[in-house]
C-alpha cells in the first residue's frame, strides 16, 4: 500500500511539473477581431462560441469515482486541450439529474413564462413554494421584518401571507382560560411547552393548506427558538415535496432598541389594559425564560444542509447559508431593506404639463403655467414640512431619553414651566435644527415635466437626482394619443387594457405593462428602503401608483385603479407598525397646500 501511495505521489508530481513547464511556454489565447471573423465566415458568431481560440471539450456521461492519479491526468489533459476523462461533468443532484433539469423556481410574474409539458406537470411545483420559518427571542424585531417581507414580495406579485402563532395562542387563551403569564413560557413547564408546540403545528398545517390553494410564500411567525421546535416544523414540511424552507433569524444586541421594543410590547395584545409596571416585569420574566432555552440558528442547520439567513440588529449584519432557489435568493439579497429610521417620504406627480391640458399620454411636454406655479409652491411646502417634522421628532427623542431613565414615569403631566423645561426646549430646538439640516434627497424622472417640477429646489440644499427608472410607463405606438382616440381607433385594445391593466402591455417598440414598470422600479424600492434620509420623489401617474402600492400595501387588483391626481402630495412616515400617511392638495387660489382628510380612492 505504501509503495502504491508513493508511486501515485511521484506520478502526480511529474504530471504537474509537466503542466507548469508547458503552461509557461504556451501563448495566451488570441482574441479575434471583426475582420478575422468575417474572413473565417463567422461574422454572425454563435452566442455559445467564445471569441477566442479554444479546443473542444468532450461531453461524457458520469462513471464511477476516479482515482487520485486519474484526477491529475484529467487536470493536465483539460488544460492542455485534450479531451477530459468521463468523470469531469458534475451531477446536479443525488438522483443523477443533469443540466436538462428544468429550473422551475425562477418565475417572475409578467416577465418569465415557463413552458410545461404534460411530462413536467408532476414536477411543476418543484421549488415554486417557499415557507419562511421565523426564529428569534421576543422583542427582536421579527414582526417588523415579517411585515417588510410580506409587503415586498406581495408588491412583486408573489402572493404572500403571514401565519402568526401568537394570535392562535391568544384565541385559545380566551376559549380555554389558559394562564399565559411568564410562567407559561418557562422551559421547565412541560404542559406549556406541549401546548405551544401543538399550536405551532396547527398554524403550520393552516399554512400548508393555504399554499396548496395557490399561495406562493407563507411565513411562520413565532419564536421557534429551540432546535427541537425547528426540527418539528421541518420534519412536517419535508412531507410536502413541493415546498422549500428558509429559516430567518432575527438577532438584536442593541440595548436601546431592545428597551424601546419592550415598551412597545406593553401596548400589544398580551398586555393591553394591564398595569404598566406589572406588565413590564412579566414581559422581562418571559424573555428570561426564552433565553434559558434559546438555541441560535447555525450548526444544526448547517449539519442538515438547511438554508438560513440571520439578520443582526435588523439587517446591519447579514449571515446567509446555502441559499438556493429564486424566491429565497430574492429575500437574502434584499434583506438589507430593513432600516427602521424615522423619516419623511414625499411622493407626487409632476406639475401640470401641456399634454395634461390636451389629455395626451406619454410624450415629453414641458410644464404649463399652472404647473410652474405648483413647482414653486412645492419647494416652500416641503421646507415647511421638514421643519415641522424635525421639531416633532426632536421632542419625541428627548422624551424617550427621559423615559428610558424612568420607563414608567408619566411624561405627560402638566406642570408649571420650570428652568429644567426651558433647558429641554432649548435642546429640542438644537436637535430639530440638526435634523432639518440633514441631507434631503430629491428624485425625479428624466422627462421634462418631472425635472422642471424640481427646478425650484436649491441644489446646494438638496441632493437632486434625475433617474430614468422613474419615467412614466412607455405607451409604445400609442404615445401622444388621448384615451378617447385609442378607444375609437382601437376599441378591442382599449377594452383589453380596461379588463387587465396590470398585465396589459402597450403595443409597439418599448411598450410596457404595469408589471414591466414594477420590475423596472425594483432597484429603486431597494434603494429607497436602504436610505436613511428623507426624500421627495417627483414622478408620473403609473409610477406613483406602483410606489404607493408598495408603501401602503395596496393589492394588485386595487393598485392600477387608484386615483392619484396631479398637484397632490403624499407624505409618508415609516413606523415600526406600518406607514403613516398624510395627503395634501395644492390650492392654486391660495397658492398653498391643504390637508386632505379622505384617502386616495379608486377610479
CATH class for the region spanning 345-405+423-596: alpha beta
Query: For the chain, which residues make up each domain, given as ranges?
Result: 2-88, 118-334, 345-405+423-596
What does the DSSP 8-state code read for residue 307?
A: -
The 3-state DSSP class for residue 318 equals: strand
- Mean per-residue pLDDT for 419-447? 77
Respond yes or no: is residue 493 known to be catalytic: no
- Mean per-residue pLDDT for 405-412? 52
Respond yes or no: is residue 540 known to be catalytic: yes
What b/e sequence results for 313-352 when a residue is b if at least 16 CB atoms lie within 10 Å of its CB, and e otherwise?
bbbeeeebbeeebbbbbbbbebbbbbebebbbbbbbbbbb
- d(CA 336, CA 57) in angstroms, rounded, equals 42
Percent over 90 (pLDDT), the chain: 50
pLDDT in tens, 285-328: 999 999 999 999 999 999 999 999 999 987 788 899 998 877 77
The CA distances from residue 355 to 470, 481, 490, 538, 563, in Å, are 18, 10, 21, 17, 19
Q: Out of 134-143, 183-192, 271-280, 337-346, which region has the weakest mean confidence (pLDDT)?
A: 337-346
Q: What is the CATH number of domain 118-334?
A: 3.40.50.300
Per-residue pLDDT at 548 exceeds 80: yes
Give the pLDDT confidence score for residue 125 in this predicted structure: 46
Select which of 73, 127, 252, 535 is catalytic.
Answer: 252
Per-residue pLDDT at 55 exceeds 70: no
- d(CA 549, CA 183) in angstroms, rounded, equals 43
Higher pLDDT: 550 or 143? It is 550
- d(CA 154, CA 217) in angstroms, rounded, equals 9
310 strand-pairing partners: 249, 319
Give the pLDDT confidence score for residue 10 in this predicted structure: 65
466 strand-pairing partners: 444
Give the pLDDT confidence score for residue 51 in this predicted structure: 41
Higher pLDDT: 395 or 562? It is 562
- Mean per-residue pLDDT for 548-563? 94
Give the pLDDT confidence score for residue 138 in this predicted structure: 93
- Residues 568 and 586 sit within 8 Å (Cβ to Cβ): yes
pTM for the whole thing?
0.76
Same fold, 118-334 and 345-405+423-596: yes
pLDDT in tens, 57-91: 333 344 444 444 554 454 444 444 444 433 333 33
Cα R_g (the chain), whole angstroms: 31
Q: Which residues contact 147 (CB under 8 A, 6 or more apart)?
A: 162, 577, 578
Respond yes or no: is residue 472 known to be catalytic: yes
Q: Out of 119-123, 231-235, 292-296, 435-439, which region has the weakest mean confidence (pLDDT)?
A: 119-123
What's the burial of 559, exposed, middle or buried (CB within 10 Å: 0-12/13-18/19+)? buried
Select which of 301, 540, 567, 571 is catalytic.
Answer: 540
Q: Out of 215-229, 316-330, 345-359, 409-423, which region has the weakest mean confidence (pLDDT)?
A: 409-423
Select which of 221, 282, 355, 452 is catalytic.
Answer: 221
Respond yes or no: is residue 73 known to be catalytic: no
Give the pLDDT confidence score for residue 466 in this predicted structure: 98
Closest listed residue to residue 443, CA positions, set 557, 534, 558: 534
Q: Write out the DSSP string of 22-87.
A: HHHHSPPPPBPPHHHHHHTT-SS--TTS-SB-----------SPPPHHHHHHHHHHHHHTSPPPGG
How does the average pLDDT of the chain come out, rounded?
Answer: 80
The listed range with the strongest mean pLDDT (29-33, 98-102, 286-290) is 286-290
Per-residue pLDDT at 522 exceeds 70: yes
Select which of 270, 472, 516, 529 is catalytic.
Answer: 472
- d(CA 424, CA 395) in angstroms, rounded, equals 9
Per-residue pLDDT at 47 exceeds 80: no
Give the pLDDT confidence score for residue 445 in this predicted structure: 98
pLDDT in tens, 472-497: 999 999 999 999 999 999 999 999 99
Give the pLDDT confidence score for residue 80 in this predicted structure: 47
Phi-psi region of 262 (alpha: psi -120 to 50; beta: other; left: phi over 0): alpha
The 3-state DSSP class for residue 118 equals: helix
Amino acid at each position: 500500500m505504501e509503495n502504491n501511495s508513493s508511486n501515485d505521489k511521484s506520478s502526480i508530481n511529474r504530471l504537474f511539473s509537466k503542466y507548469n513547464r508547458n503552461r509557461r511556454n504556451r501563448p495566451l489565447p488570441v482574441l479575434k477581431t471583426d475582420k478575422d471573423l468575417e474572413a473565417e465566415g463567422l461574422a454572425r458568431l454563435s452566442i455559445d462560441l467564445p471569441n477566442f481560440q479554444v479546443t473542444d471539450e468532450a461531453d461524457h456521461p458520469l462513471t464511477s469515482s476516479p482515482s487520485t492519479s486519474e484526477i491529475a491526468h484529467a487536470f493536465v489533459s483539460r488544460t492542455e486541450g485534450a479531451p477530459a476523462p468521463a468523470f469531469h461533468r458534475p451531477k446536479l443532484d443525488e438522483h443523477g439529474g443533469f443540466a436538462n433539469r428544468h429550473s422551475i423556481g425562477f418565475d417572475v410574474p409578467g416577465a418569465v413564462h415557463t413552458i410545461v409539458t404534460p411530462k413536467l406537470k408532476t414536477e411543476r411545483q418543484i421549488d415554486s413554494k417557499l415557507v419562511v420559518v421565523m426564529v428569534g427571542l421576543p422583542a427582536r424585531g421579527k414582526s417588523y421584518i415579517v411585515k417588510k417581507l410580506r409587503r415586498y414580495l406581495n408588491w412583486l406579485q408573489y402572493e404572500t401571507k403571514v401565519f402568526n402563532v401568537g394570535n392562535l395562542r391568544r384565541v385559545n387563551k380566551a376559549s380555554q382560560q389558559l394562564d399565559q403569564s411568564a410562567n407559561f413560557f418557562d422551559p421547565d413547564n412541560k404542559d406549556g411547552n406541549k401546548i405551544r408546540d401543538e399550536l405551532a403545528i396547527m398554524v403550520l398545517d393552516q399554512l400548508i393548506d393555504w399554499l396548496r390553494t395557490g399561495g406562493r410564500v407563507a411565513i411562520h411567525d413565532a419564536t421557534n427558538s429551540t432546535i427541537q421546535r425547528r426540527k418539528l416544523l421541518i420534519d412536517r414540511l419535508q412531507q410536502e415535496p413541493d415546498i422549500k424552507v428558509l429559516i430567518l433569524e432575527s438577532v438584536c444586541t442593541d440595548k436601546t432598541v431592545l428597551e424601546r421594543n419592550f415598551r412597545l410590547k406593553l401596548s400589544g395584545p398580551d398586555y393591553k389594559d394591564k398595569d404598566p409596571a406589572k406588565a413590564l416585569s412579566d414581559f422581562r420574566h418571559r424573555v428570561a425564560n426564552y433565553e434559558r432555552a434559546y438555541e441560535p440558528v447555525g450548526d444544526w442547520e448547517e449539519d442538515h444542509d438547511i438554508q438560513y439567513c440571520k439578520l443582526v440588529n435588523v439587517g446591519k449584519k447579514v449571515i446567509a447559508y446555502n441559499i438556493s432557489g429564486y424566491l429565497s435568493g430574492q429575500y437574502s439579497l434584499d434583506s438589507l431593506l430593513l432600516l427602521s429610521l424615522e423619516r419623511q417620504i414625499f411622493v407626487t406627480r409632476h406639475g401640470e404639463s401641456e399634454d395634461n391640458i390636451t389629455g395626451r399620454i406619454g410624450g415629453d411636454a414641458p410644464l404649463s403655467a399652472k404647473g410652474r406655479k405648483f413647482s414653486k409652491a412645492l419647494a416652500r411646502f416641503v421646507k415647511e414640512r421638514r421643519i415641522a417634522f424635525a421639531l416633532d421628532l426632536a421632542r419625541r427623542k428627548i422624551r424617550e431619553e427621559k423615559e428610558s431613565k424612568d420607563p414608567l414615569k408619566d411624561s405627560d403631566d402638566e406642570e408649571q414651566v420650570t428652568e429644567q423645561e426651558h433647558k429641554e426646549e432649548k435642546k429640542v430646538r438644537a436637535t430639530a435644527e440638526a435634523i432639518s439640516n440633514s441631507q434631503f434627497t430629491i428624485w425625479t424622472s428624466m422627462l421634462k415635466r418631472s425635472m422642471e417640477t424640481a427646478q425650484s429646489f436649491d441644489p446646494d440644499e438638496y441632493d437632486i437626482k434625475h433617474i430614468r427608472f422613474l419615467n412614466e410607463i412607455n405607451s409604445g405606438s400609442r404615445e401622444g394619443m388621448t384615451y378617447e382616440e385609442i378607444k375609437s381607433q382601437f376599441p378591442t385594445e382599449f377594452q383589453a387594457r380596461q379588463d387587465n391593466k396590470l398585465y396589459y402591455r402597450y403595443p409597439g417598440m418599448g411598450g410596457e405593462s404595469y408589471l414591466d414598470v414594477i420590475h423596472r422600479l425594483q432597484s429603486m424600492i431597494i434603494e429607497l428602503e436602504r436610505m436613511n434620509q428623507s426624500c421627495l420623489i417627483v414622478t408620473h401617474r403609473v409610477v406613483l401608483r406602483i410606489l404607493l402600492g408598495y408603501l401602503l400595501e395596496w393589492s394588485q387588483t386595487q393598485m392600477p385603479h387608484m386615483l392619484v391626481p396631479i398637484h397632490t402630495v403624499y407624505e409618508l412616515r415609516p413606523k415600526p407598525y406600518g406607514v403613516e400617511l398624510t395627503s395634501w392638495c395644492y390650492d392654486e387660489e391660495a397658492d398653498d397646500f391643504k390637508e386632505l382628510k379622505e384617502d386616495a380612492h379608486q377610479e
